[in-house]
Chains A and B, each alone.
Chain A
């Protein structure tokens, strides 16, 4: 097997949150006070009402990977993605990546788009948010028009878009940043299946380019089957299973994480995995 190039490496990542709003705010004031005082101690212990949202996670992402990340709600998937995208700071641990690689994340439903502005105006706003210049955005305009399949509708106010259209627009803008590490967090959960299929085909092509990889977060078993070439299963902030055998990982996920589910439904899901033709 050809050795794959490592492009992102996460080591011993921790992140904690508080269950209680008031405690959370109090800890915030305290932590800021100690930060300002220059205290360098890393507070890796838990204080009352806190829990680990990310508990000692290490993972490697290689060029050409489409890494599926599955886990029940609240298992820490989105938090992990936000840390990798640079939005949240970890409590401890490191993330290394190849120099100059661009990380772009697209989260659920194109949140952050502005309803009173047209689709085209939103492209400028979101593109600028991702750090693109005016020229870069304009050079990508045709691509976004084509890929989102919105074309004429781009000049309508976004508030009139359906949720699928919004998702398509948000996805196309994120893609226009030409990410090297592309994080898709349930962003393809809405929209029509034709568009999704197109995205999947495109992603598979996309990661064939040198030094590109995708982190694909989803609870949708069929989607993960369709696209991932490696799967991580997360539970309570930890990676409990990892495999390049997508089917095995999904079997593990269904058997271990979905215990609350009715036995029948679980069997249906397991069958889906078993019968899926990769």
Chain B
């Protein structure tokens, strides 16, 4: 073997090692990675929207057409007298419509991120790029996919005489904790999805059940025996309830408990991002594609 000149060796810098894998994952690196790969993230977002409609003529227009169709169905239901506009308090169907879309906002980001490794495809085995790019892409796609139908829904509600207070303008901000919580759970479950699918399957089921423990299709003060206790222990009761009341009533639902839940959500997020970054290399080498 050729022995390199020691002077020559000294010019080299460490590029890759086991210790480096563990040490590289600071928050600063995370932000830098996202900035350096912003064009890659844009491409991923683009692909994600385009690939779905590649075989259609209308293409991205479907993103608008589909919610308009469901709005029309909603209007027809309204004509049938199921919805009573102009009431002082919002009607039950409108309540459920808004409530479920808030819940959907939480649960969809969970679903998307928890599948990130399996959906990421072969790309990660081709080049060295930060895996976080896929997560950022998921978040951007998720927000865009939520905003379009949501805005259309709101317009329809306004046309039908539902009135919102100015406090409702705070609504987008109240979605942030829900996004962060769904994302955090998704990050942890994405690891299990590859290494220990049993846990992932179990949590998927639990998320379905969780919807019934959260006042989404019923009001928070419902009396259903011991389940009422669970509802009050469920942080999502406060996170979803706060968002919904801001939007519908222009009031703040349990602001004290909500603030505690928000704080805990952010702490949970910091921990799960760290876990995700530590686990990522071990997960990637176990992706059999």
Contact = CB atoms under 8 A, between A and B. Distances in A.
Contacts of B191: 32
Given A36-B275, A95-B16, A128-B39, A114 B127 contact: no
Contacts of A124: 43
A207 interface: no
Nearest to A82: B125
B12 interface: yes
A42 B43 contact: no
A131 interface: yes
Q: How large is the interface on A (under 10, 10 to 19, 20 to 34, 35 or more residues)?
A: 35 or more
Interface in A109-156: 111-112, 114, 116-117, 124-125, 128-134
B47 A125 contact: yes
A249 B249 CA distance: 79
B87 interface: no
A131 B40 contact: yes
Q: How large is the interface on B (under 10, 10 to 19, 20 to 34, 35 or more residues)?
A: 35 or more
A153 B36 CA distance: 31
B69 interface: no
A95 B235 CA distance: 47
Contact of B126 (A8, A24, A60, A129): A129
B14 interface: yes
Contacts of A82: 125
A134 B39 contact: yes
Contact of B18 (A60, A89, A125): A89
A96 B14 contact: yes
B195 interface: yes
Nearest to B36: A131
Contacts of B126: 87, 105, 107, 111-112, 129
Contact of B13 (A88, A99, A129, A131): A99
A229 interface: no
Interface string B152-166: 000000000000000
A129 B127 contact: yes
Contacts of B281: 88-89
A104 interface: yes
B196 A25 contact: yes
Interface string A27-53: 011011001100000100000000000
Nearest to B8: A6
Given A86-B128, A93-B17, A96-B12, A28 B286 contact: yes
A92 to B, nearest CB: 6
A92 B127 CA distance: 21
A116 B40 contact: no
B5 interface: yes
B133 to A, nearest CB: 9
A28 B275 CA distance: 13
Interface of B: 1-2, 4-5, 8-9, 11-18, 21-22, 36-37, 39-40, 42-43, 47, 50-51, 54-55, 121-129, 191, 194-196, 275, 278-279, 281-286, 288
